[in-house]
Structure 1
Amino acid sequence: MADQQSGSSTSAFVSSLIFNLIIFAIFISIFIFLRNKYTNVYRPRTLNKTLPDHLKAPPLSDSTFGWLPDLMTRPTKFVIEQTGIDGYFFLRYLLLWANVGFFCGLILWPILFAINATGGGGQSGFNIISYANNTHKWRVFANLFLSWFFFGFVVYTIYVELVYYTGFRHNLQCTQFYSSLPSSKVLLIDNVEEGLLFEDSLRKLFPAAQKIVISRDTKEAQEIWKKRNKLINKLEGAFTKVINKCLKKRSKIEKQIEKGKEGYELPTTEGQITSYMDEKKLPSYKYKPIIGKSKKVFNEGIDEMNEFNTKLNVEQTKIKESPETLDKLGSVFLEFSSHLELQRAYQAVGYSEHFKTSRRYQSFLPEEVIWKNVDIGFVARKSKRSGAITFLTLMIIFWAIPVAVVGCISNINYLTEKVHFLRFIDNMPSVLMGIITGILPSVLLSILMSLVPPIIRWMGKIGGILTLQQLDFWTQQWFFGFQVIQVFLVTTCTSAASSVVTSIINNPSSALEMLSNNLPPASNFYISYMLLQGLSISSGILAQIVGLILSFIIGRLFDKTPRQKWNRDVSLGSPSWGTLYGTFGLFTVIMLCYAIIAPIIIAFTSIAFLLIYIAQYYSFVYVSGHTTDNRGRNYPLALFEVFVGVYLGEISLIALFVMQKNWACVVLEAVWLGLTVLAHLYFRYLFEPVLDTVPIGAIEGNYPSEDFGKMQIKNVGEDYFVSDESGGDFKQHQSSSDSLTGTNKSDYKSDSFNGTLEKKATLSTRYDSNNGNLNSNANENYQSPNAGLDNKLEHFPAFDQVEEDFQKKQNLKNHGYSNMASNFGSYIGGDYKKGFRYAMTWFFRPKEFLQYSDYRPYMPDFWTMPISKSLTEDVVYQPPEINEEKEPILWIAEDKLGLSKQVVQLCNEHGVKCADTDAKYNEKAKVTVTEESYPPGYESTIMY
């Protein structure tokens, strides 16, 4: 029995390695052989017609393995342009911890492997080089001092990355492109006092607001809009099905006539549906299954569609012409003429007595608002949020049961002595035992965890979250916590406890000692887990098995209408950043916690990070679409979550020292834990106030690198509202920014641009100098505090002066250097060709590199131009049931019999728009969509 137990980790590792290598080889082979054949699955971003030209992925080498160096030698500017700012920072996260792992491993391994291997603990397999094999009490001081180095380096790395992100985020939002986006000029405030829900009152508080929209109760319109959307799908599906049946019946009649069979003849009116189908057999529909009322598609469905259009038009007219007839919801949207004015208002809201119970939001588009939560008041929001938190907390508790079972399976061979019905396991061959203890738990755990994110997102919406960005942050925080508790703590504890349960029952007094000896071997489970993630999951991302299934099975079975087929062709799957960071944040926690206890885990975690980096990099550039723009905000959240891994690593060491009764090490490690807590609190104090805001100095071209603008933000917030003693009202402080930045007034000019990005059918962008004045619709009653300066200057210094500085400072022009060859230089933000000294300077003095010119080499070229007014003039921050004024056009396919023409005519006669363009029925009566087709009434949206 002992021999089997001691060898279980080795057999589990070998079984996991072989199994995952086989899966890796299969998936990579699928990718290599199918990549060039099915470009719609493996390279959809190269030809996708809905993408702007600058977002279409460039061609990649067609050779078997040439794609890898071709992809990995792209410059950072390419990565940001193709993957988006969120994709760039996620890839940076993966590469960061792969680098940290390899660098620290080279220092830790020679020392810890030697000490543990000669520790005399009698362990075997990977356990021989873990803490469990070290029985010498004073040798553990090596673990102590190396933990100081390792955790100290990790904490300092977090600081460097927070500095880098903060500077990048601030300068990114000051580029002409980002500052001209509608999302950079709109402020949402919820739970506004009832007495302030008047345009005059709000304008006194925010005189710079160009447009003020007070949210109204549009539930009636929303219900009509939802039903209309459902009816569109039902009608298009029914029309397609009817024409399909008619064509098949026609084909059958023709074949029977060709065979000379009697009793078959073609109808005299070929273009009539009733010539092929009995009117009683025409399809019907209902909104609710079983209990819903059934209605005929012809003509009740068409009439109902017209009725919905009429009702929705009435509701839209009511809110525009007589908004006072609708109840106010307590939320307001404030649109400003520039990003500068938005930032002033955003920074001030938190300092106003009027908005103590309000939340403030910026950097979102109308389609990123969860409109059903806009009408939730403060009390209801608190109740719903508490309910969502309670539900997820209970879910974590009860989810521990199946996860604990998985943890026990990883060491199930230790339980056979007391659990009699499991004794048959003792007779299993080592290969099968390795599969049970190595592969099965990892697969089961991955399946369990994949079920969690959708539930978390659903509860976030129920809990009152207002924007998709905030929903992503909510998902990341809860999923990360869920993973740490379930996958790490529960699995580790149950795995370690199950391995010694028999010994503890026989000798309870030795429980602490036995747990200390068996906690390090629990890392064997995570070695198998990392093999699964690093080999199988990364290759699975490349193989696109799900994409193949959706394209060739699900699509062919369920996509019947032109719209469904068109959506399948052009839709790009979008990553959920909250889910991705939560998933791979666990990897970091595992690596940090076991780095000193079982240092071999560093190698497997770093390799997993690197393989997943390559797979995700390819996926973001060539497969995935650009999802909700969080502007990289998940990245600093993930960096703060790394402290969880540091704490767990330090606490685990303290626990092991306590179990060994090595009190000197306990005290010294506890002191280091205290220093880690202080560093964490300091980072929160330093960075949290500046992550979501942009200091005025950054906008004016004089970045406040001393404190990242923290003091400026505080001063703007406190000075924005000034009480008017005569009337008790408020007015905006007119000189707030002038006294803050220390910048000469003549150095500032508000946002006015000469270049633009022009809209095309596919949202391609090109230079156009005809739409430069973005402030032409500014509020006539408001005079900018810098209005007198605007006419004196011809250029905006935040872009012109720093551009000149950048040209002076950079030693190399844009070039295609290798990210792999320069990963360390890229990681710290520098250019490796500038030398190791430059890289070290950036790493050890990061605050010296926070100006726009330091980040300019990595920013896409199109960020230097503002977005076209043609893309922004129609952006309205209203719910879709109010904003969508155009009546929808039903889309069906054209057929050779003219049946579609009858449907189009019938719809038009009943006041419903319908078209049969850009789609046809083929010889097999299947719908096909033309290559250059667009749904009738299609309107492009902003993509970047």
Structure 2
Amino acid sequence: MSTGSSTSVFVSSLIFNLIIFSIFIIIFITLRNKYLNVYRPRTTNHILPNHLKAPPLTKSSFGWIVDLISRPKSFIIQQVGIDGYFFLRYLKLWAYVGFFGGLILWPILFAVNATGGGGKTGFDIISYSNNTHKWRVFAQLFCSWFFFGFVCYVIYVELVYYTGFRHNLQCTPFYSSLPSSKILLVDNVSEDLLYEDTLRKLFPSVQKIVITRDTSDAKEIWDKRNKLVKKLESAFVKVLNKCINIRSKVEKKESKGKEVEIPTPINDVNSYIKESKLPTYKYKPIIGKSKKVFNEGLEELSDFNQKLDKEQEKIKINSDDLTKLGSIFLEFPSHLELQRAYQAINKSENFKKSRKYNSFFPDEVIWKNAGVGFVARQSKRTGAKIFLTLMIIFWAIPVAVVGCISNINFLTEKVHFLRFINNMPSVLMGIITGILPSVLLSILMSLVPPIIRYFGKLGGCMTFQELDYWTQQWFFAFQVIQVFLVTTCTSAASSVVVSIINDPSKAMSLLAENLPPASNFYISYMLLQGLSISSGILAQIVGLILSFFMGKLLDKTPRQKWNRLINLSTPSWGTLYGSFGLFNVIMLCYSIIAPIIIAFTSIAFMLIYVAQLYTFVYVSGHTTDNRGRNYPLALFEVFVGIYLAEICLLALFVMQKNWACVVLEALWLILTVCLHLYYRIIFESVLDTVPISAIEGDYPIGDFGKKDISQVGENYFVNDSNSLGLIGGNNSGFGGSGGSGDSGGSDSFGDGEKLETSSSATLFKTKIDEKSDSNYYVQRTAKAQDHGYSGMATNFEDYVESGGSKSGLINGYNSISWRDTITRFFHPKKFVTQSYYKSMMPQYWNLNISNTLAKDVDYKSPEISDSSKPTLWIAKDTLGISEFLIKLCQNHGVACSDEDAVFNEKGKVVIEDDSYPPDYESSIMY
């Protein structure tokens, strides 16, 4: 029986992708050292703190690879963040698993399949489909036991590693002192608990309380004001540009001796443009009412400022009159107190419908969902899930077409208008069946994540961390169902459609026989991902286009140009894990059926690892801090690939009527399910919490603190009179969106002095001092005064309390030996120690974050917390028109500035080096 075009598909795909790979690599090598803002923006970006600026690499064409991959873990973690580190670990891990798995599987399965007598050709000769001997499949059975068992054990080892890392990470002084480590968000709180006195009885150590309230009026004004600022800046710069061009034309005519009328006064807009020609704006296209920028726009902006001030004042004074929305923010004096409360929420009947969140900053809260009630949230979430489920179903139609294209040569016998395909050269046929489907499938899948994220927000995700988690789950489901199941089935079905039509009774056996050759599509898919996609990541084609073409067309104002230059692209961890989780599913499902695919998957993982490592260190900025939480989710998702692989093998054994193999594989499937459930039981309850004993310096290695966490949760609302539960003083909740005024407590977060003098902090130190390796976790007792804060926080000294130097940010280049690596693999719990994790963490995590930075973090929605007035940012010109506009704005009570931006001789806006918008506010970057 024909095996299709596997050889021509592979050769065509390989040549095509090698050509693309070579082009992209040449672009990268040629331009890497010339266009730093595209290929190395993190070496020059002046808003980054010094400890996050990437150090230079060797300038040689390929020497940078060795230079980069030889850097220690502490360097990688510091530069790419915890989420970046674990994503890179994910890529490298499965490249290694594929490599070691292949060393064992290939000698056995290649020999069994190649001598199977099936008469296949190409790659199919070493696949399951070439084995016609019924009892030889015991080789596949026992190999599946070994490989899938090995993968399950790897998952266990990595879950142990991540859990220990996460717990030790959150106990470091730096992470413990972050404002995000002291804030607890609880939603769906019953109305009878939404009183500050009641909440203080429940949480006696809480410092500040915010009960979210309906501030929709202020929100509407705030949103409109932000839109208007953008419209006014764009209109002002447009007017300035037009005036400069008019003046330039007049001067050119004058220089040629022509008689011209010189606009006067020279710095007045009205001298160049008639009032009727001045720009207008509207909030809604077509149906919106047009308003003049001069002077209606300025009057409206001034009016928005005044209205927002009144709304904010009303919220502060009369917050009790606003409708409570059922979510509360609780600030605790320390990370220890936060963890005690966090672990208790699920143990209380008062919060049985509530969800809890921690480890987030204010700009990571999806504020519009913070005030949605339980019924509304459940309805929205259900609606979002229904839509995405239907989308998965109907998305199968275009994906099925793509799957059929991969074996389109088999359809020509029944679909007559396609018969011209039979006359095509083998190279062209290879492009159509190998390259085209892979490209189309990648395009189809790239459209999915933005839709998932939109419905995640609509469905009530409270934080961007939760949104990333939601995206990963749904995108992984999309990938598995569409890219794997639908494509595999349609590819296999299209290859035997004629035979099934002629003899329907053989449908199942024919599909089973042709399922292994369907792997040819995934070989092309892995070539595309491993060669073209990895090199494309390095080449930064999109970044080049945006920087040199789209940027020049779209960016007109100083702020737009500054944002393009300064704002770094940030990865979506949910999308990345969902994409590359599919690689594991493909590798596992075909590891026994068509084991050659392990090679292509492993190579793809490693090439993408190198490309992403460079990108994360030198190009990408840090996104929301999920603290690596997507990693264990991705590990659990690997079980989906194992299940599918075992089910596929079961189906193949059934088709061969090899009942002994069916029973044995079914037992192995049941064992896999039990193992999966066991992992969930021992790990899921400890992934998002930190055992109190770990914070106190005595890490519970045996059960990772599961018993500790359970006891703390059960006792928290019962025994509130203990010394740990009574600290925090009587600081009242802060006004704005919920508290009832201030009775003397500081409104700042992360008050280091209070923490140092609190009884819990004293107990914390006393207990830790008795432990080994205590210097790592003991809070510093002698705190120096904060350094002067410039508002930019670009110096290391602005980030931490005293005790650090830039030269000591990163631990030494001590790497773990191969012997230790092997020992850790077989005895992972032996390495769950503070000293082991300390060796790979940046040394500045030994220091508290600067109190000056921490105290300015305000957990209120932006329409409440934003007390600043926006400043219009325009560019300076030689005619003095910008000064005229600044005075015009001042007359309307609006701030305007032309600092750090000028019009060049061509009338284009240029921003100065090391410039900042006039209303720039720094944020914590780590």
TM-score (norm 1): 0.91
Paired residue for 1:800?
A: 774
Q: Does structure 2 retain, via aligned residues, the 8 Å contact 1:76–1:858?
A: yes
Residue 932 (structure 1) aligned to one of 898, 914, 926: 914
Write the distance in 2 (CA, Å) between the matches of 1:170 and 1:792: 20
* Other-structure match for 1:734: 722
Count the aligned residue pairs.
876
Q: Which residue of 1 aligns with 2:252?
A: 255
Distance 1:173 1:646 in 2: 32
Q: Per-residue CA shift, 1:826-885, capped at 9, x if unaligned?
A: xxxxx443x52x222211111111121110111011111110111111111111111110
2:382 & 2:678 partners in 1: Cα distance?
Answer: 29
Match of 2:60 among 33, 57, 63: 63
Q: 1:773 to 1:441 in 2, by over 3 A?
A: closer
Which residue does 1:111 correspond to in 2? 108
In 2: Cα distance, 1:787 partner to 1:646 partner: 47
Match runs of 1:563-582 below 5 Å: 563-582=559-578
Q: Which residue of 1 aligns with 2:905?
A: 923
Give, as a single letter, the amino acid of the residue that structure 2 aligns with 1:698.
A
Q: 1:250 & 1:62 partners in 2: Cα distance? A: 46
Structure 1 residues 735 and 497: alpha-carbon distance in aligned structure 2, compared to 1, 3 A threshold: farther
Could you tell me which residue of structure 2 aligns to residue 506 of structure 1? 502
What are structure 1's unaligned runs of at least 5 residues? 723-730, 739-748, 751-770, 805-812, 818-830
The AA in structure 2 aligned to 1:47 is T
- In the aligned structure 1, how far is the partner of 2:454 from the partner of 2:762? 50
> Which residue is equivalent to 2:266?
270
| Matching residue of 2:51 | 54
Structure 1 residue corresponding to 2:705, chosen from 687, 709, 732: 709
Give 3-state SS (helix, strand or coil) of 1:17's partner: helix
- Judged with a 3 Å threshold, the aligned counterparts in structure 2 of structure 1 residues 288 and 803 are, in CA distance, closer, same or farther, namely closer
- Residue by residue over 1:192-247, the C-alpha shift from the partner in whole angstroms, topping out at 9 and shown as x without a partner, is 11111111000000011010011111111111011000000000000000011000
TM superposition shift of 1:803: 7.4
- Secondary structure class of the residue paired with 1:287: coil
Deviation at 1:6, TM superposition (A): 3.0
Residue deviations 1:181-200, cap 9 Å, x none? 01000000011111111110
Give the C-alpha shift of residue 66 in structure 1. Answer: 1.4
Q: 1:718 to 1:791 in 2, by over 3 A?
A: closer
2:86 corresponding residue in structure 1: 89
Q: 2:369 & 2:444 partners in 1: Cα distance?
A: 30
The CA distance in 2 between the partners of 1:168 and 1:359, in whole Å, is 25
Q: What amino acid is the match of 1:850?
A: V
Q: 1:906 aligns with which of 884, 888, 891?
A: 888
Post-superposition CA distance 1:61-80 (Å, at most 9, x none) = 11111111111111111110
**Cα drift, residue 733 of structure 1:** 5.1
Distance 2:670 2:723 in 1: 43
- The offset of 1:734, in angstroms, is 1.7
Out of 376, 379, 389, the position equivalent to 1:383 is: 379
Q: 1:627-669: per-residue Cα shift (whole Å, max 9, x none)?
A: 0000000000000000000001111101000000000000000
Determine if contact 2:588/2:645 at 8 Å carries over to the other structure: yes
Question: 1:285 & 1:798 partners in 2: Cα distance?
Answer: 66
1:325 Cα offset (Å): 2.0
Query: Which amino acid in structure 2 is aligned with residue 116 of structure 1?
Result: N
The 2-side partners of 1:17 and 1:788 are apart by 65
Determine the C-alpha separation between the residues in 2 that align with 1:418 and 1:703.
68
Q: Equivalent of 1:621, from 609, 617, 624?
A: 617
Aligned partner of residue 158 in structure 2, secondary structure: helix
**TM-superposition CA deviations, 1:554-586 (whole Å, max 9, x none):** 110010001001111101000000000000000
User: 2:134 corresponds to which residue?
Assistant: 137
Q: Is the 8 A contact 1:719 1:736 kept in 2?
A: no
The aligned counterpart of 1:776 is 753
Distance in 1 (alpha carbons) for counterparts of 2:280 and 2:696: 63
Query: For 1:425 and 1:687, how far apart are their aligned partners in 2?
Result: 54
**Alignment check: 8 A CA contact 1:143 1:596 kept:** yes
Aligned residue number for residue 942 of structure 1: 924
2:786 matched to which residue of 1?
Answer: none
- Cα distance change of structure 1 residues 523 and 574 upon mapping to structure 2, 3 Å threshold: same
2:69 maps to a residue whose letter is M
Change beyond 3 A, Cα 1:246–1:484? same
**Separation of aligned partners in 1, 2:374 and 2:105:** 52
Q: Which runs of 4+ in 1 moved over 6 A?
A: 735-738, 790-794
1:666 and 2:666 are equivalent in the alignment? no
Output the CA distance in 1 between the equivalents of 2:680 and 2:769: 37
CA–CA separation in structure 2 for the residues paired with 1:564 and 1:376: 34
Cα 1:448–1:602, aligned 2, differ >3 Å: closer, same or farther?
Answer: same
Equivalent position amino acid for 1:702 in 2: D
Partner Cα distance (2:85, 2:549) in 1: 32
CA drift of 1:285 comes to 0.5
What is the match of residue 360 of structure 1? Answer: 356
Q: Deviations over 1:41-65 (max 9, x none)?
A: 0000001011110000000111111
Tell me the residue number matched to 1:868: 850
* Residue aligning to 1:170: 167
Matched, 1:635 2:631: yes
Aligned-pair distance for 1:511?
1.9
Decide whether aligned partners of structure 1 residues 814 and 192 sit closer, same or farther in structure 2, where only a CA change above 3 A counts: closer
Q: 1:121 to 1:400 in 2, by over 3 A?
A: same
3-state SS of the aligned residue for 2:246? helix
User: Alignment partner of 2:239: what SS?
Assistant: helix
Counterpart-to-counterpart distance in 2, 1:498 and 1:251: 67
CA distance in structure 1 between the aligned counterparts of 2:138 and 2:465, rounded to whole angstroms: 46
TM-fit CA distance, 1:623: 0.3
Deviation readout 1:483-519 (Å, 9 max, x if unpaired): 0000000000000111111111112222222112100
2:600 to 604, 615, 620: 604
Residue of structure 2 aligned with 1:848, choices 830, 834, 842: 830
Please tell me whether the aligned partners of residues 719 and 733 of structure 1 are also in contact (alpha carbons under 8 angstroms): no
Give the aligned CA root-mean-square deviation in angstroms: 2.0
Residue 907 of structure 1 aligns with an amino acid whose one-letter code is C
Deviations, residues 866-919 of structure 1 (Å, cap 9, x unaligned):
101111111111111111101111111111111000110011111111111111
- Report SS of the residue matched to 1:510: helix
1:223 matched residue in structure 2: 220
1:460·1:471 contact (CA, 8 Å) conserved in 2?
yes
Q: Paired residue for 1:402, among 378, 398, 401?
A: 398
421, 424, 429: which one pairs with 1:433?
429
Give 2:471's match in structure 1, choosing from 458, 475, 482.
475
Residue of structure 1 in register with 2:299 after alignment = 303
Aligned partners of 1:62, 1:431: CA distance in 2, in Å? 38
Q: Matched residues in 2 for 1:779 and 1:888: separation?
A: 37
Alignment check: 8 A CA contact 1:127 1:133 kept: yes
- Among all aligned residue pairs of Structure 1 and Structure 2, give the percentage whose two residues are the same amino acid: 70
**Equivalent position of 1:760 in the other structure:** none
Alignment partner, residue 768 of structure 1: none
Give the distance between the partners of 2:601 and 2:530, measured in 1 at CA. Answer: 8
User: Does the aligned pair in 1 maintain the 2:697–2:774 contact within 8 Å?
Assistant: no
Contact 1:721 1:733 in 2 (8 A): no
SS of equivalent to 2:896: strand
Say if 2:200 is the partner of 1:203. Answer: yes
CA contact (8 A) 1:75 1:815 kept: yes
Residues in 1 aligned to 2:772 and 2:303: alpha-carbon distance in whole angstroms: 53
Q: Secondary structure at the match of 1:480?
A: helix
Determine the C-alpha separation between the residues in 2 that align with 1:17 and 1:284: 55
Aligned to 2:24: 27
Change (3 A) 1:778 1:839: closer
Distance 1:144 1:773 in 2: 58
In structure 2, what is the equivalent of residue 517 of structure 1? Answer: 513
What is the identity, as a one-letter code, of the residue corresponding to 1:53?
Answer: N
Q: How does 1:170-189 map to 2 (within 5 A)?
A: 170-189=167-186
CA distance in 2 between counterparts of 1:802 and 1:87 reads 24
